[in-house]
Structure 1
Amino acid sequence: MNTHSQMINGLDKDQMMTTIAAIQQQPGLARFQFRARNRWVSGGENRSTIQDFYGAGQEDDSRAQPFHFTNGEPPVLLGANEGANPVEYLLHALAGCVTTTLVLHAAARGIRIRALSTELEGDIDLHGLLGLDDGVPAGYEQITIRMKVDADCSDQELEDLMGYARQHSPVCNTVCRPVPVRLERVV
């Protein structure tokens, strides 16, 4: 029995393979539900709390303390810089998810990542948000992700890996395809 796990890109490859095998044997283990709770404070400020989720066939209680996120707006958008605004958090979520997906799949392919950084830009026209032009989307018109990756693979392998990460990142996939969002009033 091998008592030494192979670590690659900060991930335990043996544990990764064990997880994949478990999901292949019991597909229901792959179903997750993540949750966030939000409360408005004032103006453009509101706060989200994230703690519990359902995954791997059960409620997860591994987080002793919740994560707190403050959403705000810059003064030009009537806020006081209480925190990043929600569309900036979307860029943060996209960067984090694409990065994690790339690192995970690099490890699965045996590719070592030495360094990885990203820069994101998202273009928005406020005519959509403000309802001034129905032909302008309320959200991002375009998002650009620039990745600088130093890895022990060929340029072609890196291009393939980046494309795979774009397709398989849950946040990128969510942003790139229509996802139904229900807005329900709770009484």
Structure 2
Amino acid sequence: MTQIQETIANNGVNTEALIGARGAFAATPEAASFTFRSTCDWIEGTYSSNAINGYFGLGEEQTRKQTYTIESDHPELFAAADRAATPTEIVLSALASCLTGGVASVAQHRGIQLHSVRAIVEGDIDVRGILGMDGDIRNGFSDVRVSFEVDAEASAEDISALVAQSQKRSALFDILTNPTNVTVNVA
């Protein structure tokens, strides 16, 4: 049985609602199946824009309060216009955001007041793979490193435990470290 610690920490996370969701999903596991989506439209060159709004969850279609957009492009070094972050940089920022949100959630649940959290994420890619120069070089990251700077009312051990628990529960960490089925179709 999970107990919620009584706390004066206020990190802006509603842990009571999260614990409640766990109970609800335990009672109705089919409601825990979600499908998120993004619609990407090519603009020109390597420049595109993604629209993110609806998703399927709790057994029905859901709509966000607003549509969010994420643009992507490539740097001038790759003969592009450099109008937005590269798709690989967006993946790194998604990982950083997922892990950082997890740190805040776990800290709130454990009654640890945060003052600041910064995740610095780096990923190494040998672009010869993307350019088709060497079939033995993979197109994606060969290594990703995440470094946290956390200022909190907690010991170094407690901060390390926050980060470890966030990593354990991170959807993006799982996506990047485990094989995922990806199907590509042409309509």
Same fold (TM over 0.5): yes
Residue matched to 2:47: 45
Q: Does 1:125 align with 2:126?
A: yes
1:68–1:79 Cα change, 3 Å: same
Q: What is the identity percentage for the equivalent residue pairs of Structure 1 and Structure 2?
A: 27
Matches within 5 A, 1:1-187: 8-63=10-65, 65-186=66-187
User: Given the two structures, how large is their TM-score scaled by the length of structure 2?
Assistant: 0.89
Shift of 1:121: 1.2
Task: Decide which moves more: 52-61 or 30-39.
Answer: 52-61
CA contact (8 A) 1:37 1:50 kept: yes
Counterpart CA distance in 2 for 1:164 and 1:25 is 24
User: Given the two structures, how large is their TM-score scaled by the length of structure 1?
Assistant: 0.89
Unaligned runs of 5+ in 1: none
Shift of 1:56: 2.3
CA contact (8 A) 2:39 2:52 kept: yes
CA contact (8 A) 1:70 1:84 kept: yes
Task: Decide which moves more: 133-142 or 20-29.
Answer: 20-29
Aligned length: 181
Shift of 1:94: 0.7
Question: Aligned with 1:11: secondary structure?
Answer: coil
Question: Aligned with 1:83: secondary structure?
Answer: coil
Shift of 1:6: 7.3
Higher relative contact order, chain-length normalized (CA < 8 Å, sep 6+): 2
- 1:127-167: CA deviation from partner (whole Å, max 9, x where unpaired): 11011111111011111111101122222222222122122
- 1:153-183: CA deviation from partner (whole Å, max 9, x where unpaired): 2222222221221221101110011111111
Question: Aligned with 2:69: secondary structure?
Answer: strand
Task: Decide which moves more: 152-161 or 26-35.
Answer: 152-161
Counterpart CA distance in 2 for 1:58 and 1:125 is 42
CA contact (8 A) 1:98 1:166 kept: yes
Unaligned runs of 5+ in 2: 1-6
Task: Decide which moves more: 102-111 or 119-128.
Answer: 102-111
CA contact (8 A) 1:73 1:85 kept: yes
Question: Aligned with 2:179: secondary structure?
Answer: coil
